[in-house]
Structure 1
Amino acid sequence: MCASSCCKKGAHHAVCCHGHGASSPARSGKTIGAAVPELFGANVFSDQVMKARLPKETYKALQRTINAGASLQADVAAVVANAMKDWAIERGATHYTHWFQPLTGATAEKHDSFISPSVEGTVIMEFSGKQLIQGEPDASSFPSGGLRVTFEARGYTAWDCTSPAFLKEDGAGNVTLCIPTAFCSYKGEALDKKTPLLRSMNAVSRQALRVLRAMGNSTSQKVIPTVGAEQEYFLVEKEYYSKRLDMMNCGRTLFGAPSPKGQELEDQYFGAIKDRVSAYMKDLDTELWKMGVTSKTKHNEVAPAQYEMAPVFTSTNIAADHNQLVMETMQKVALRHNMVCLLHEKPYAGVNGSGKHNNWSLATDDGINLLEPGQTPGDNAQFLVFLCAMIKAVDEHADIMRTTCGSSGNDHRLGANEAPPAIISIFLGQELTEILEKLAKGEKICSPEGCQFVKIGVDSLPDLPKDNTDRNRTSPFAFTGNKFEFRMVGSSQSISGHNVALNTIAAEALDEIAGRLEKAKDVNKEIQALIKETMAKHGRIIFNGNNYSDEWVVEAQKRGLPNVKNTADALKTLVTPKTIKLFDKYSVLSKEELHSRYEIYSEQYAKHLNIEARAAVQMTRRQYIPAVIRYISVLGASAGAAGKHGNVQKKLLEKISKLLEAVDKKVDKLEAEAQKARAIEDVGKQASAFRDKVIPTMLSLREDVDQLEELLPADLWPVPTYSDLLFKL
């Protein structure tokens, strides 16, 4: 059976459609534009493909599993597996893989061929129901955070039939059937990011349905959290990338003097896309469309050589799968164009970094967006209830939301006047905020028809169009008409963890609200009381101003809002009693699973910084110091030859020599600090040591090396400069 039924974590199949399984444009002879409807989803075992290839009763049984979480019977799985195999082979596949998302943040796959030996000494192509629904990859080398020991290598992948199977093609002409799966240990603990995501989707659906039932909705059968994940990225010339040890090993530059031009002219954002980049984007769209990823928008971003791709909304589970495919495909396609795609949050100092905007909402299976203002009293009451739920949830669990955005890369970006600060707040816009405040006080609200007292569910609110507010790009969690835009997510991060948090904190708030509405004698009066209480207790989380300002930091402190500035501190939230109680209550993550994630993410943070420290040491000793010594020799000879006229050479020689001595001392210190940090066994203390000792030493070393870069001749500097990296595409 699929992961959603065996673990009782049902999730909606998709909000958007998934293609037709048609022939490629090359075979049909059409232009790309004309062939997009056929191209889209051509490599997806979509609902339409299943309906065409499966017997009617088998199809219905599978849909019951996908939509209602019913158990998938073995005979049904066998028929589905055979149809999936035939479809994949027809499209050139020779292998299949259970595609899963371990706690590394990347994806994993082990490929098995369809061949099976026959008694005649030949082979036949087989794929059983058992092979479809369960796999057994070696789990020993994946991070587990203590959930299993190394010598217990067994791990299981379970088919997640709520996310369509798809085909991946590579540059060598290989085609592989990819089956999205959950990944768990022998004892059933989640070893991946998908399992808790499915659990959280189930949790928020249950509680949201209770609220809807209490408000008189008897038709919706499921509530689906939906997401559209915008993805920012940089492109860089492959030749230059390969000459920088820091970029190859760390994904970012550890050194680099500023380019004469940065982003200050504001000419990159939404500018004309260069032909070479446009060709890359075209290939990227084609690859993504074939796999059913609704790549919709593409444009130049703010920083030089920075770009963005945005998809259409879909269910959170599928959106998370798709975003993993987006990141992987971006990097793969870039190499074909002799470029490298950088997904690090801060590849270059001094220009904007990259994030991904996680646009989150709740929708019913019959098409109602629960975060969209309506035109009737009932619709508006529903909207306000769910809006209050999110205000309460975010205020009570801002620390959890901050934790999900923690990484060594994202620490460079948050609060750097290019992304939201580490302080969590909600932007609602002035109009919506005033309506809530007046409703809470029982005051008159003016509508186009005039002013009147509003009684929820009796009189109507003023019309609230989708875009009744301006967009606040400084806010970490902004309401944008019919969804919340979580802007703190790092560009390299899986979106699963952020949506696990959003779904779970929403489930808790909705659970409490449902209990109140179910007991209320007058639901409308209870909603009025709910709004009043929400604004009184949680209104502090609403901030419509400039989140970048120093004044907001002071004001947030007065309001009692947390300001956790680094990942090492943020991760501690994972193991607090409050967090453990929350995730355990809704069966999303157990105490042991939360502790495992604290161990894994703290260790990953330290490991990333250790790699950076080692790369910085190597580059300094093997590239920068030798280059400076060569130039000192040149200067010395020139000064001697010039005699009394060699003052310029002598002055420059003295300045460079002093910097070289400082660099030599600092690189020794960096190596020593990193060695001390590596020796610490406790992961939390180790992470803190890298934060407090290694990072400051590495930054101090960079200051001197960057000064040397500005003093040495271009032909002697051993690595490509920022001007090369940012402007030579």
Structure 2
Amino acid sequence: MSHLRFNALKEVLKRNPIPVEVPEKLSVLFNQNVFSEDAMREYMTKGAFGYIMAAREKGEKIPREAADQIAAAMKDWALSKGATHYTHWFQPLTGTTAEKHDAFFTPVEGGKAIEQFSGSMLVQQEPDASSFPNGGIRNTFEARGYTAWDPTSFAFVIGTTLCIPSVFISYTGETLDYKTPLLRALQLVDEAATDVARYFDRNVNKVQSTLGWEQEYFLVDSALFNTRPDLQFTGRTLVGHSPAKGQQLDDHYFGSIPLRALMYMQDLEIECMKLGIPIKTRHNEVAPNQFECAPVFEEANQAVDHNSLLMDLMARVARKHDFRVLFHEKPFKGVNGSGKHNNWSLSTDTGENLLSPGKNPKKNLQFLTFFINTIKAVNEYGDMLRSAIAAAGNDHRLGANEAPPAIISIFIGSQLFNVLNELEKVSKGKMSPDEKTDIKLNVVGKIPEILLDNTDRNRTSPFAFTGNKFEFRAVGSSANCAEPMMVLNTIVAHQLKKFKSEVDKLIDKGLKKDEAIFNVLRDYIKTSKNILFEGDGYSGDWEMEAAKRKLNNLKTTPEALKSELNQKYIDIYVENGVLTKREIEARNEIKLEKYSSLIDIEAQVLSDLARNHIIPTAINYQNKLIENVQGLKEIFSAAEFKDLAKEQIDLIKTISEKIAIIKSSVDKLLVEKTKSHHIEDSHKRAEAFCDNVKPLFDGIRSAVDDLEMMVDDEIWPLTKYRELLFTK
């Protein structure tokens, strides 16, 4: 194993950056391999194109005869791009994307063949449903499931395959993917937000949820990656002593991008441009070998698809450059982990961002309406957001020094906090002319000026307002954006529906529209103050303060997923038609099973590393020390020997102690792993892995890391942190 490590290091030292041919303008590549609106206009009839746009903009169904026309046009375009196969590209509950390729090739009479692609092939495909996570919805012997085309997301070509973004459902109609409930939530928030936006502008007919994600990741040389079984099987290092230099100097953050990494980024950006992913930003992150990329904001469904596609592309392009991408939230101990900040807002078909203030009190009242309703939604249903980001990897990150805590709170900045305090003082019922003038001119009217020089954003907040959007910072880097976006849009839509009902009741009682809105917003501010926090989310004081405010601190995935089955939360999904109770329970089961399985795998890998790699190496080194001590005894007198051999003998003893700790801890780990594995109840099994198995990792790691600092570097089997993080 030690030879593998040093051979890998030699290989890395020979690496040269792989040059990338970058066009003068990236924009010329944009959407090159996407069946975009321009491509549709070129290849489709006017009628078929009209059906597509009606589906995209109004959610109308596409008639079967139109599907045949669209399929023919899509096939002709794909063939012009060199495609030979097609697939329904979907996002099952595995956390990755999935695809089954079928050839356009079809034999016909006379020993000939043609390329064929019909409307039925476009609209529906039938992959095996039983082998994907389903939470008990499908039996193993019931394999049938369906993928169905999502016309609101553009088809694209990768290599020789036409990829058709699709939803995935069971034979009996339950959702088995991330996309379907997201689409339902987006339709819900469109309807609810449009109804409220029309208080301020009767021309609004549609509201879109927008998303701008920020993807953090690590790059590790592929040769070094292959020397670490823990990275290969779990995505993180289960052992490894911190290097003398980590991120203490902050010299990597926003620094000059290493040339190999830059070539990788340029290659990735070219592939992104071709597939319509509007990557705009790239930079070094805080930890060594950690980086980030981010796109321009897009409609949420398209943005979710693009992030899933990006992660696939990142892994493919990385191999070309002899890298492996690490998406795990905490792949290295002692340095920052990785998140995927979800920047969310709402925009109208009239071109307005509903979370951006305007130049007059009317626009600012619109801003406050959506701003305060979002705060109210998170205050009422914050635990739903916490459960949406619950995962084994994210448990390592939440609450650490680079990530927000597991307590859901909102940061809005002191100036906006003061605005809400002023609005809270609004008298209930009808307002006098002086009150109206004071509120509209002196409070609401000043919001644009306030936001020009607002308080710096709070990096410790899991949900922060950042000028014209909310940034959900607690999402993990390996997560699919669909679930947090599904939850956020559902709870905001639910809250907006309640808001409109309350305002309309006050208007029916004789209040003017603005007075009714102010009255309801005033009550919301009073009942939502608990969720607002402007301080240091990392501090122990905040944990105590949050407890006083009765905000939950769900530190682990099992805790968070238990809260997900709260009847109050189930009712929101069911009432709004986003998920059925059966689907909620199935998804909860899948997440629990995934959590337990990941801890189970980590325990097995750690046991293997300890018993088959670390202990034999330590014994090997110990034997060399023993030989050295025996040699000293032969050469020197008893008195000299006692003095000269003391350090070696102490080291031999310490190594024995560390080996004993590792051996006994691994034995205990395997016993607890087996006991936990056989628990039938999924919640209890996850809790057992969390409470009884996972804590045993620390003792084993500590002893192994101590040995790493004692054993001869020449025989240590695992590539060390200083090599993984600093070898370019």
Checking the alignment, whether the CA contact within 8 Å between 1:102 and 1:193 is kept in structure 2 is yes
State which of 160, 166, 172 in structure 1 corresponds to 2:150.
160
Checking the alignment, whether the CA contact within 8 Å between 2:383 and 2:564 is kept in structure 1 is no
SS in structure 2 of the partner of residue 493 of structure 1: coil
1:108-507 equivalences under 5 Å are 108-169=98-159, 175-213=160-198, 215-442=199-426, 454-456=438-440, 461-464=445-448, 466-467=451-452, 468-507=454-493
Q: Which residue of 1 aligns with 2:552?
A: 562
1:52-67 equivalences under 5 Å are 52-67=42-57
Q: Which amino acid aligns with 1:382?
A: Q
Q: Which amino acid aligns with 1:183?
A: F
Rounded to whole Å, the distance in 2 between the matches of 1:31 and 1:108 is: 30
CA displacement at 1:452 relative to structure 2: 9.6
CA displacement at 1:31 relative to structure 2: 7.1
Gaps of 5+ in 1: 1-29, 170-174, 444-450
Checking the alignment, whether the CA contact within 8 Å between 1:456 and 1:524 is kept in structure 2 is no
CA displacement at 1:463 relative to structure 2: 4.1
Checking the alignment, whether the CA contact within 8 Å between 1:469 and 1:480 is kept in structure 2 is no
Q: Which residue of 2 aligns with 1:24?
A: none
Q: Which amino acid aligns with 2:689?
A: F
Q: How many residues align?
A: 687
CA displacement at 1:529 relative to structure 2: 1.3
Checking the alignment, whether the CA contact within 8 Å between 1:442 and 1:453 is kept in structure 2 is no
Checking the alignment, whether the CA contact within 8 Å between 1:423 and 1:562 is kept in structure 2 is yes
CA displacement at 1:454 relative to structure 2: 2.9
Rounded to whole Å, the distance in 2 between the matches of 1:37 and 1:671 is: 55
1:616-631 equivalences under 5 Å are 616-631=606-621
Distance 1:463 1:564, change over 3 A: closer
Distance 1:237 1:441, change over 3 A: same
Which 4+ runs in 1 deviate beyond 4 A?
456-460
Checking the alignment, whether the CA contact within 8 Å between 1:300 and 1:307 is kept in structure 2 is yes
**Bigger Cα displacement from structure 2, 511-520 vs 401-410:** 511-520
Q: Which amino acid aligns with 1:225?
A: S
SS in structure 1 of the partner of residue 114 of structure 2: strand
1:626-665 equivalences under 5 Å are 626-643=616-633, 644=641, 645-665=644-664
Q: Deviations over 1:52-75 (max 9, x none)?
A: 221112211221121111120112
Q: Which residue of 2 aligns with 1:715?
A: 714
TM-score (norm 1): 0.93
The reply to whether residue 594 of structure 1 matches residue 584 of structure 2 is yes
**Bigger Cα displacement from structure 2, 608-617 vs 362-371:** 362-371
Rounded to whole Å, the distance in 1 between the matches of 2:604 and 2:444 is: 64
Q: Which residue of 1 aligns with 2:78?
A: 88
Q: Which residue of 2 aligns with 1:548?
A: 538
SS in structure 2 of the partner of residue 183 of structure 1: strand
**Bigger Cα displacement from structure 2, 619-628 vs 32-41:** 32-41
Q: Deviations over 1:676-720 (max 9, x none)?
A: 111111110100000011111111111111111111111111010
Q: Deviations over 1:79-127 (max 9, x none)?
A: 1111111111111110000000001111100000001111011110010
Q: Which residue of 2 aligns with 1:69?
A: 59
CA displacement at 1:530 relative to structure 2: 1.9
Identity across the alignment (%): 46
CA displacement at 1:560 relative to structure 2: 1.2
SS in structure 1 of the partner of residue 695 of structure 2: helix
TM-score (norm 2): 0.93
Checking the alignment, whether the CA contact within 8 Å between 1:298 and 1:310 is kept in structure 2 is yes
Distance 1:508 1:457, change over 3 A: farther
SS in structure 2 of the partner of residue 461 of structure 1: helix
Rounded to whole Å, the distance in 2 between the matches of 1:539 and 1:706 is: 46
Checking the alignment, whether the CA contact within 8 Å between 2:44 and 2:73 is kept in structure 1 is yes
CA displacement at 1:259 relative to structure 2: 0.6
Checking the alignment, whether the CA contact within 8 Å between 2:87 and 2:164 is kept in structure 1 is yes
SS in structure 2 of the partner of residue 231 of structure 1: strand
Q: Which residue of 2 aligns with 1:26?
A: none
Checking the alignment, whether the CA contact within 8 Å between 2:372 and 2:521 is kept in structure 1 is yes
Distance 1:440 1:464, change over 3 A: same
Checking the alignment, whether the CA contact within 8 Å between 2:404 and 2:473 is kept in structure 1 is yes
CA displacement at 1:234 relative to structure 2: 0.1
Rounded to whole Å, the distance in 1 between the matches of 2:224 and 2:514 is: 64
Checking the alignment, whether the CA contact within 8 Å between 2:27 and 2:273 is kept in structure 1 is no
Gaps of 5+ in 2: 1-19, 428-434, 634-640
SS in structure 2 of the partner of residue 455 of structure 1: helix
Q: Which amino acid aligns with 1:658?
A: E
CA displacement at 1:551 relative to structure 2: 1.4
Distance 1:31 1:102, change over 3 A: closer
CA RMSD of aligned residues (A): 1.5
Checking the alignment, whether the CA contact within 8 Å between 2:343 and 2:472 is kept in structure 1 is yes
CA displacement at 1:321 relative to structure 2: 0.4
Q: Deviations over 1:274-332 (max 9, x none)?
A: 11110000001011111000111000000000000001110110111000011111111
SS in structure 1 of the partner of residue 392 of structure 2: coil
